[in-house]
Structure 1
Amino acid sequence: MPEGRWVRLSTEKPTSTVYVLGTETSLDVCGSAPTGAAAFDVWGTSGLNLFIVHNGEVLKIPCCVTRWPLNSRVEVIVTMDAPSVEVDEDKVRISYYKDKGKTPIAKAVLHLTCVEISLDADTSRSGSVHRNAKDKKNWTWGPEGAGAILLVNCDRDDPETKDVDNKDQKMQSFMDRGDMSLMILTTRGPDDIFEDHQLVLHVSASDTDKVGVFHAQGRKKKLSQHKHVLGSGKLSYLVEHSSGQEENFFYVEALAFPDITFPGLVSFHATLLEATTQELPEAPIFNDTVVFHVAPWIMTPNTLQPVAVYVCSMKDNTAFVADINKLAKKAGCKVIVCPEVENRGDQWIQDEMEIGYTQAPHKSFPVVFDSPRNRGLDGFPFKTVLGPDFGYVTREPVNESVSSLDSFGNLEVSPPVTVKGKEYPLGRVILGTYFPSLHGQKMVKVVRDFLYAQKVQSPIELYSDWLLVGHVDEFMTFVPAPDRKGFRLLLASPCACYKLLKEKEQEGYGDAMMFDGLEEGKQSSVTTILADKSLRSSNEYFQKCIDWNRDILKGELELTEEDIIDIPQLFSYVRGKAIAFFPDMVNMLVLGKYLGIPKPYGPIIDEQCCLEEEVRRLLGPLGLACIFIDDYKTYHLFYGEVHCGTNVRRKPFSFKWWNMTP
C-alpha cells in the first residue's frame, strides 16, 4: 500500500502542497466544509488522478456522478504520475453545496507540485541499485527475501594506515569505497521546491556507532570530494539540492558486526521538511526509509577448498614446516610462514585466530577473528594478516579471565547439515565448554555472544573441559566424503584403540613396541599397554566423555553411526585431565583430499605402523590420502599436534547467507 498523507484544505484562500511520487494524498474534505454544506464535487487538472472512497470502495471519480454526500465515510484521494515542471502546476478544487443547492456555497482550491524523492539501495541483492523498490522498510531472509546488505569495512586497504578502514572518517581509496554499499537519493522536480524545503538524511541515535556514510559530492566525484556525513555521532545531514543534479550518491560502511546488543539491522531515512513560520521548526511531510543488514562473520569447514596454510617457523621445527609445504603443494594451496621474530616463540597459530569471511552481493573478503588468548602470536593477526581485502575482528573480555578454552583450537564448524527438516547450509559452529555442573570453565561471554549473534551458523556447545588443554579439536574433526552427507565426523576413540591393540596381541604381536624409534625409556609394548589398569581405567572415563559429545553431535547434526568414524586414540591422565598418550591423530590438517595426520609412532608390524595402517583402512575408501607428519618433539610433547600448529584460509561457501532462514 502506498504511503499516505492527510492534507487540510481551506475555503478562505488557495493553498499549496508538495506531492511525492508514489504516495497517496488524502484531502480533508469534511474538515474544510462550511456550515450547512451537505454535498461536494471534485475537479482536477489533467495531471492528477482523482479517486473517491465511498461505501468502502475506492473508485476513480466517474464523470457521471456530479456530487457526493459530505460525511466522514467519503474520502478524496489524489495521485500523480510524473514530477512537475513548474511549482503549483496542477490543482484540485472542491466545491461545497447545500442540500439540493445548485450553486456552490464555498470552494477549496489546492495547488500541487509533484516531486520524486527516493532513497534506494541494493534491496534485490543483485549487486546493483534498483530505483523505487517496494517494501524497503523491511528486511527478510530467504531466496525470496529482500533487503540491502552492509559489509563491516574491517580490512586495511592502505598499508600505510595504522588501523582498520572504518576506524577513521576518511575515504582512503577507491578500493576502500569498493567495500561499501551504494545508497542513492533521487530527487526530481522544480528547483524552487527544493530551495524552499529541506531534505534531510538521518539515522537513529542507537545506530550512529554502527555505520559510517560518505557523500560523493561534485560531478566528478573525486576521492577528496567524499564527505563523511553520518555515523560516529553524526545523526543527520542536510542534503543540498543542486540544479540539474537528480541523484546523490552515498557510500555506506558498517562499523560493527552483529552482536548481543546489536541484531545487525540499520535504518536510513530521507525526510522532506516543510517550512512553517520563522518561530516554529520545519514540519515533516514525507519520509523514505531503507533498511540494511550487516553481513555476519562466517566460519569455513574442512570440506571447503583450502587457499592458504599458515604455520609458524621455530628454531626446531624446520622439518615440520617442510612437511606442511609438501602437503600444501599437493593440495594446490600456498603456505604463509610466520617467522619466529613475529610469533615470539608461540607456535600455536590455530589457537590464536580463526579465518572466516564476510559477504555482500557486491563483494566478499576473508576476515580473521583474533582470539583473546593474547600470547606470543597476539600481534600477528592485526599486524600481518589484516590487509587489503582481508578484514579483522576481535572480542576482548572486560571483567572475565581468559582460559585455554578461549583459544580457537576450541572453535570448529561443521559442514552443511539438515536437522529435523531445518537446513543449516553454512554448517554449525562448534565450541567447547564445561560439563553441566556448578564448576568448570567455558569460553568467555563476549566471544560466545559474538558467535551466537551471527545467526547463520547456530552454535553447538560440547563438553571439552575433561581435556587438560580443553579444545574440541583434540577429539573431533570433519573430513570430506563423496557420499552420504558429503563428510564424515572423526572422533578419537580409546575403545577402538584398545580393540586394535588387543587384536594385534592375539595375532602374536604383543611384543611390538609403541614409540619405537624415539628416545630410550619411552617405548612400551602392546602387552604392557593392555595390562596397564590405571591407563585403561582413565581411558574408560575419557571414552564416556567422548560418547557424551558423540550423542550431542548426533542429535544436533542429525548423524547416524554410518556418518561417524572412530579413530584409535589413547589419553593419559595428568593433573586430573586428559592429554594424548601418543600423537593425537584426530588433530589433523585437512586440505581437500589430503590429510596431514600426526605420526602416532604406533607398534611396527610387518614394517608398518599398525595405527597408521588402521587409519588408512578407515579413510582410504573415502578417497582421502593419509600423510603422516612427525610432530612428536615440536608439538606433541607440548600438548598439541598438527592442527594446533597450523591454520587454514578456505574459499567461502557458494551459498549466500541471506538466502537461508536462521
Structure 2
Amino acid sequence: MVVIAAASLALLVSACGDDGGNDDGNDEAEDTAGEDGGSADWTFGPIYGVNNNDDDDLDGKRDWLTPPFDADTDLMPLTITADQVAGFSDGDSVRLTLSGDADLMRMWHNGAHVLGSGAAEPILEYTFTPSGEETLWVEFGEFLARGSVVIDHVSGGEAVESDTIELVSSPAIMNHHLMPAEHLWIVQTSDNAEYVMDYLEALTSDVSLVQGVMYQQDRWIQDEIEFATSTDAAGGRLDTVIDSIRDRGLDNFPEDEFGPQTDWFIGTWGSPTNATTFDAFGNLDASPPAPGFPFGRIYYGLENGQGLDSALATFLDEQTLQQPFPLDSIWLCVGHVDEFSSFVPDPTAPKGYRLLLADTASGLELLDSIDPGHPTNRYNSAYGYATAGDIAADAALRAYNEDIQVNELDGIREAFKSALSLTDEEIIEVPTIFQAEGNCGAGAMTTGTVNLIVANIDGKGIKLMVPDPFFRNDAEGPESDPWAQDFEARMPDGLDVVWTDDWFSYHLLLGEVHCGTNVTRTPQADWTVDGAELLGLEGAN
C-alpha cells in the first residue's frame, strides 16, 4: 500500500489553542504552549472535505474504490503536532473513536486503513503510540457524509486530554443561472448551422461543439446533464455531472467528455426504466440566492405524482442547502420548468437579480398593440398566421392563453414569490403566446424567450443567448421586430441580448436555447461558512 505524500495535499488541519487572546499580539506563540512551557493544547479544528469519487489516477475507477496514492488530492489531513505529544509519558497513546456515517468515511495512518469503511464492518476505534508529529488522512466516500472522531490522549489507561473533531464532506451544490459561466456546450447537428454560428460569433472559444453525428443528432444537451460543485476547506473542487435517466442519444456524452477525469464525478440517480419527459433536466433548475438560502433553491416540475424521479428528488433534498420546491409543469406538452422561467442579473434589484416569467396576459397585450398588418412570415408557414392581426383575431387562441394565465402561470408566480421571498417588482413578465400541441399540452407558439442562457464569462460582459422571435419579415432583423424590441426594453441595463436563430432546429421541435445548451459555472459561496447554519456545522465560525 502506498503511503500518501503530504506534499500532494494542501491543507494542514493544525492543532491550535485559544486562551481568549493576548495583549502582546503573539497569540500563536502563547497558544502553542502550556503554562509550564510543555505540550501544546489538545485542540483540533473541524475537517471539511469533498468525497473521493473522482479519478485522479485515470484508471477508470473511482478513487474511493482504491487505496490512497500520491496523486490523490481529495484526502484531508489530521495532524497531531510534535508539540502536542512532547509531554507524553512512556506508555501514553492516542485513541481515536469514530461515530456518525462511519461507512461513508475512513482514516489512514502510515498507509494503513485504521478507521471507518473498508472492512466487513466499519472500524470505530484505533489506538497508537505517537513518535513525534503524526498525520492521519481523512477520506469521504459520499456527498454530505457526517461524523465525528473523538481524539484522546490516553495515560495510565485513562483519557487525560480529549477533543472532538467534526468530519463533514461537501454536499453537491447545483449551479444556478447567475454563477460566473466558465464554458458552454452545444450540439452541432445536421440542421442547426445558424444556431451554431450565433454561438460561435458571440462566444468564440468559450463554446464547444459536440458532434451530433456521434450522438444520434440528440441536440437536447440541457436535458441530458446538470452540473453541481463541491469544495473543500483547502480550495479544492469536485465537479459533478448529474446524468439524466432519459438515456437518449447523448447517453454516453458525459463519460466521453468528463470521465475518467481528475476532479470530476458522474452520477445517476433513478432507473431509466422509469424515465419520463419530466426526468429531462430542462425540468430541473436552481434559483440564485434567496433569504435563508445563500445557495439558492432547486425547483423542478412535479404535480399529481408526475414529475422528477423520486430517487433524484430525494438525493437533492438530502443535500440540505438548496431546499427543493415543486412547480406544476404537467400542463405543458414537454413539461419542463425552463419553458416558463429563468433569472437574469440586475444590480438594481433588491437581491441582485430578477425572475423572468412567461406571461400570456402581457403577450396578448403586446399582440394587441402591434399593427394588425404587421407581417409574421414564419408564423404563417408554421401556424397559418400571416400577420399579427391574424393571431390577435383568433378567439380560441386568446381564450386558451387567458386560461393558461389564470389556471397555471398565476399559481406558478405565487409559488416563486413564496419560495424565494420575491415581490412583484422583482419579477419581469415575458410576453408569451402558447398553443395547444394536440392532446399533449401547451407549447410556446411565439419563441420562448424566457428559455435563455446567461453567458456571464469573466471579463467578457453578460450576454443573454435568447431565441429570436422572428415576429417580422425574414428580410428584416430584430431591430424591426416588435416582439424582440419589447423583450430588450424589459431587460435590466448592462445585458447584451444576443438573438439566436433556433426557429427550425429547436423552436418548432418544442425546445429553445436553454434546452440546447449547457454551462459549467464557478461556485461563489463557501458552504462551510455561508451554509453553516443550514447544515448545523459545529466547527464553523
Give yes or no for TM over 0.5. Answer: yes
Aligned counterparts, 1:537-552, within 5 A:
537-544=399-406, 545-552=408-415
Aligned counterparts, 1:240-639, within 5 A:
240-241=128-129, 245-258=131-144, 264-270=145-151, 288-329=163-204, 334-340=206-212, 342-365=214-237, 366-386=239-259, 388-397=261-270, 401-418=274-291, 423-434=292-303, 439-484=304-349, 485-504=351-370, 509-516=371-378, 519=381, 522-544=384-406, 545-574=408-437, 575-592=439-456, 593-604=462-473, 608-619=480-491, 621-639=492-510
**1:598 positional shift:** 0.7
Give SS of 2:245's match.
Answer: coil
**1:492 positional shift:** 0.9
**1:318 positional shift:** 3.0
Q: Between Structure 1 and Structure 2, whose CA radius of gyration is higher?
A: 1
Q: Is the 8 A contact 1:404 1:470 kept in 2?
A: yes
- Letter in structure 1 aligned against 2:172: W
Q: Distance in 1 between matches of 2:420 and 2:337?
A: 16
**1:133 positional shift:** 2.7
Q: Is the 8 A contact 2:340 2:358 kept in 1?
A: yes
Q: Distance in 2 between matches of 1:470 and 1:644?
A: 12
> How many residue pairs align between the two structures?
483
- Letter in structure 2 aligned against 1:193: G
Instruction: Give the direction of change, closer, same or farther, for the CA distance of 1:302–1:288 in structure 2 (3 Å limit).
Output: same
Q: Distance in 2 between matches of 1:399 and 1:514?
A: 41
Q: TM-score, normalised by structure 2?
A: 0.81
**1:210 positional shift:** 0.7
Give SS of 2:504's match.
Answer: coil
- Letter in structure 2 aligned against 1:527: G
Candidates 45, 49, 57, aligned match of 1:150: 49
Instruction: Give the direction of change, closer, same or farther, for the CA distance of 1:322–1:153 in structure 2 (3 Å limit).
Output: farther
Partner of 2:24: none
**1:180 positional shift:** 2.0
**1:209 positional shift:** 2.5
Q: Point out where structure 1 has 5 or more consecutive residues left out of the alignment.
A: 1-21, 23-78, 84-115, 119-130, 137-146, 218-225, 259-263, 276-281
Give SS of 2:312's match.
Answer: helix
Q: Distance in 1 between matches of 2:141 and 2:216?
A: 31
Show CA shifts across 1:539-585 (max 9, x none). 12221211101011112222222211111111111224111113211
Q: Distance in 1 between matches of 2:309 and 2:394?
A: 38
Give SS of 2:483's match.
Answer: helix
**1:595 positional shift:** 0.7
Aligned-residue RMSD, C-alpha: 3.0
Q: Distance in 2 between matches of 1:530 and 1:341?
A: 41
Q: Is the 8 A contact 1:589 1:597 kept in 2?
A: yes
Q: Is the 8 A contact 1:553 1:559 kept in 2?
A: yes
**1:162 positional shift:** 1.0
**1:185 positional shift:** 3.8
Show CA shifts across 1:510-555 (max 9, x none). 1323343985775432222122222222212221211101011112
Q: Is the 8 A contact 1:515 1:522 kept in 2?
A: no
- Letter in structure 2 aligned against 1:424: F
- Letter in structure 2 aligned against 1:268: V
Partner of 2:21: none
Q: Is the 8 A contact 1:400 1:444 kept in 2?
A: no
**1:586 positional shift:** 0.7
- Letter in structure 2 aligned against 1:433: L
Instruction: Select the structure with the greater relative contact order (CA < 8 A; seq sep ≥ 6).
Output: 2
Q: Point out where structure 2 has 5 or more consecutive residues left out of the alignment.
A: 1-16, 18-33, 457-461, 535-541
Instruction: Give the direction of change, closer, same or farther, for the CA distance of 1:513–1:228 in structure 2 (3 Å limit).
Output: farther
**1:317 positional shift:** 2.1
Instruction: Give the direction of change, closer, same or farther, for the CA distance of 1:532–1:172 in structure 2 (3 Å limit).
Output: farther
Partner of 1:143: none
Q: Distance in 2 between matches of 1:603 and 1:164?
A: 53
- Letter in structure 1 aligned against 2:123: L
Q: Is the 8 A contact 1:456 1:657 kept in 2?
A: no
Q: Is the 8 A contact 1:426 1:657 kept in 2?
A: no
Structure number having the greater helix percentage:
2
Give SS of 1:319's match.
Answer: helix
Instruction: Give the direction of change, closer, same or farther, for the CA distance of 1:80–1:489 in structure 2 (3 Å limit).
Output: closer
Partner of 1:643: 514
Partner of 1:11: none
Show CA shifts across 1:379-401 (max 9, x none). 22234224545322534326982
Instruction: Give the direction of change, closer, same or farther, for the CA distance of 1:325–1:158 in structure 2 (3 Å limit).
Output: farther
